[in-house]
Chain A
Amino acid sequence: MSKPTWTNPVVRWIDYRLPVFTFANEQLIEYPTPKNLNYWWNFGSLAGIVLVIMIATGIFLAMHYTPHVSLAFASVERIMRDVNYGWLIRYIHMNGASFFFICVYIHLFRGLYYGSYKSPRELLWIIGVLIILTMMATAFMGYVLPWGQMSFWGATVITNLFSAIPVVGQSIVSWLWGGFSVDNPTLNRFFSLHYLLPFIIFALVFLHLWALHAHHSSNPVGIDMKGPQDSIPFHPYYTVKDAFGLGVLMLVLLGFVFFAPNFFGEPDNYIEANPLVTPTHIVPEWYLLPFYAILRAIPNKLLGVIAMFGSILILVLVPWLDTSRVRSARFRPVYRVFFWVFLLDCIVLGYVGANPPEGYFITVGQLATFWYFFHFVIVLPLVGWLERPRPLPDSISASVMAGKGKEAGHA
C-alpha cells in the first residue's frame, strides 16, 4: 500500500497532525478485499447502518418519551399522534429493531456456513457473539419502555429467570427490579440502560472491525488471499455494492414502516400495562422466540434457564468445536447438509416458541432443543473428523476464473 501524498493543503495540514485521511485511505479505500465476495457479505455493513439508524431515531424518541409508569404509555401515544413525524420515527425504531436482528442473524449464519470463525478470526467471532448478546439486552429493555401489557409481562418473565439461581436468586431479582415487582424503578433503570447499551454495541463493533481488518475478510471459498491478483480495493467496488444492498434494505424496511408497521408487533402491547392481569399468551419479540422455546422445553426451572443462556454462549466455542481444517461449506458435502438441518431446527424452535406450550408443541420443542445442542457438541466435531472435503481451488483468483458464472452467484 503506497502512502498517498495529499495535494489539498488543508488535508495535508490535518493529516500531518491527525492522520485520519491516511487511515481512511488504508482502511476504507485501498483496503484489499477478496474479489469473490457474494451478497451474503453485505449484511455486516447493513447491520452497522441499522445500528446508526437505531441510535439516531432513539435519541429523538427520548426527547419526547417519559420513563414513568403512569406517563410512559401516554407519552408513546403522544409521540404517535401529536409529535410531528413522531409516528415515523417510532415506526422506524420499532421495525428497525427487527431488521437489525434480521441482518445480524443472516450475518451469523453466513459465518456458520462459510466457516468465518476459524483461525485467525476466533476473536472476531467471539466479539460478534457479545454484540448479539448486548443487542438482545438492548431490545428487551427497549420493548419494556412503551409500558404495554407485553412490555410489562415480558419484563416480569425475563427478570424472573434470574430467580432460578440458587440461594441468591431472589435477591438478584429484587435488585434488578429495585422493588418487589416490575415497577417504576425498573422502568427508570431500563430506560437508562437502553440509552447506554447501543453505545456499548458501537464500541464492540469498533473492536469487531479492528479484528476484521487485522486479517481481512474471509470469502466464499474460504482460502486466504495470496497476492494482489486475489483482491480488489474496497472503494469503489464494495462501497458501491454495500450502497446497493442498503438501497434494497431500505426499500424493504420502509415498506414495512409505511404499509405494515405493526407486522412484527403484538397487539397486546397497545394495552397499557396492568400488573394484576397476565395476558393469556405471553410471547417475546420474534427474534427471541427460539431461545424462549429452549427455555420452555426443559421442565426444570434452573436447567431451562441454563439451557437458554447456554444456547447463545455455546456459539463462543464453535471455532474449537468445528474440527475441520476446511473453512467453507462449499467444499464440505456432509457439513453442508447439517448446516441446513440446523437452520431448519432454529426455525422450528422459533415456531414452537410462538405457540402455547401444549400438546405436541412440547415434544417438538424438546426434540428441536436436543438437536440444537447435538449439532454443536456432537455433529460439529465428528463431521470435522470423518468428512472427506472436496479439493480446494489453488487460489481465489483461480476459483473465480475456473468456475465462471457458477462461483459468483452461488451461495
Chain B
Amino acid sequence: MSDTAMTAPGGHDDDGTTRRDFLLFTTLTVGATGAALAVWPLIDTMNPAKDVLALSSTEVDLTPVQEGQAITVVWRGKPVFIRRRTQAEIAAARSVKVSDLPDPQPDTARVKQPAWLILVGVCTHLGCIPLGQKSGDTRGDYGGWFCPCHGSHYDTSGRIRRGPAPANLTVPPYEFLNDNSVRIG
C-alpha cells in the first residue's frame, strides 16, 4: 500500500503495510456497516404498515348465491371470487389429468366443499381481474375465467390452463362458519 521509500509515521510491517493502513481500513469498514444498517429503517418504512397488516377478515353470507352463480367480495382491497359450481363444472375440474396442468394441483386440494370455489380474483400474471363473474362475461376456453389483459385462461377450478400466467388463482385462507356463511382471512 504505502510506498516504502516514504517513512510512514505508523511504522512498517515487513510487507510495507502500516498500522495506519489497518486503522483506516477497520474504521472504513465499521463506518460502512453502520451506514448500511442505518438505511434499513428507511427501506422498512416502505413495507406494509401495522394498520395495513391488521386489515380484518371478511364474513360473507352465501344464502343468495344460486347454483351456477358467482359473487365478488372485497378482502384486503382485493376482489375475492366465490362461485357456486354446478355438477358439470365440478366434474370438468376433476376429470383432467393433474400432471398435464401447467401448475399441477388436484381440484380437491383447492376447495373445502366441492360446490364452493373461493379464489383471490387477481390474475397471477400481472394482477388484472379476470372476467367470468358476471353472466355476460366470457369465461375463456376452459369455462372458468379469462384474463383480458394478456390472455390467460383459467378452468372451473381456477387453475391456469393457457396463457402467460405462471400459477393458478390463489385460494385465500377461509373457513365455513356454517352451511350458509364463510369467513375469509
Q: What is A's interface to B at a CB cutoff of 8 Å?
A: 153, 156-161, 163-164, 174-181, 183, 185, 189, 275-278, 280-282, 296, 299-302, 304, 356-358
Q: Is the CB of B165 within 8 A of A282?
A: no
B101 on interface, CB distance cutoff 8 Å: no
Q: At the interface with chain A, which of B29-37, B90-98, B145-153?
A: B145-153
B177 on interface, CB distance cutoff 8 Å: no
> In the assembly, what is the distance between CA of A357 and CA of B151, in Å?
7
Closest Cβ of chain B to A221, distance in Å, is 46
Known A-B contacts: A153-B128, A180-B76. Give 4 more (CB < 8 A).
A160-B126, A181-B78, A276-B72, A301-B126
Closest Cβ of chain A to B10, distance in Å, is 37
A153 — which chain B residues lie within 8 A by C-beta? 128
Answer whether A357 and B150 are a contact pair too, CB < 8 Å, given A156-B128, A160-B126: yes
Closest Cβ of chain A to B165, distance in Å, is 7
Q: Find the B residue at minimum CB distance from A277.
A: B129
> In the assembly, what is the distance between CA of A185 and CA of B46, in Å?
8
Q: Is the CB of A178 within 8 A of B127?
A: no
Closest Cβ of chain A to B138, distance in Å, is 11
> In the assembly, what is the distance between CA of A180 and CA of B52, in Å?
8
Q: Find the A residue at minimum CB distance from B121.
A: A276
B49 on interface, CB distance cutoff 8 Å: yes
Q: Is the CB of A175 within 8 A of B46?
A: yes
Closest Cβ of chain B to A156, distance in Å, is 4
Q: Is the CB of A180 within 8 A of B129?
A: no
> In the assembly, what is the distance between CA of A179 and CA of B46, in Å?
9
B106 on interface, CB distance cutoff 8 Å: no
B122 — which chain A residues lie within 8 A by C-beta? 181
Q: Find the A residue at minimum CB distance from B122.
A: A181
Q: What is B's interface to A at a CB cutoff of 8 Å?
A: 43, 46-49, 52, 55, 72, 74, 76-79, 122, 125-129, 148-151, 163-166
Cβ contact of B164, chosen from A163, A177, A183, A304, cutoff 8 A: A304
Q: Is the CB of A301 within 8 A of B49?
A: no
> In the assembly, what is the distance between CA of A83 and CA of B166, in Å?
47
Q: Is the CB of B52 within 8 A of A157?
A: no
Q: Is the CB of B149 within 8 A of A301?
A: no
Q: Is the CB of B127 within 8 A of A157?
A: yes
B72 — which chain A residues lie within 8 A by C-beta? 276
A180 — which chain B residues lie within 8 A by C-beta? 48, 52, 55, 76-78
> In the assembly, what is the distance between CA of A278 and CA of B55, in Å?
23
Q: Find the A residue at minimum CB distance from B76.
A: A180
Q: Is the CB of B48 within 8 A of A178?
A: yes
Cβ contact of A157, chosen from B55, B79, B149, B151, cutoff 8 A: B149
Q: Is the CB of B47 within 8 A of A175?
A: yes
Q: Find the B residue at minimum CB distance from A158.
A: B126
Q: Is the CB of B47 within 8 A of A160?
A: no
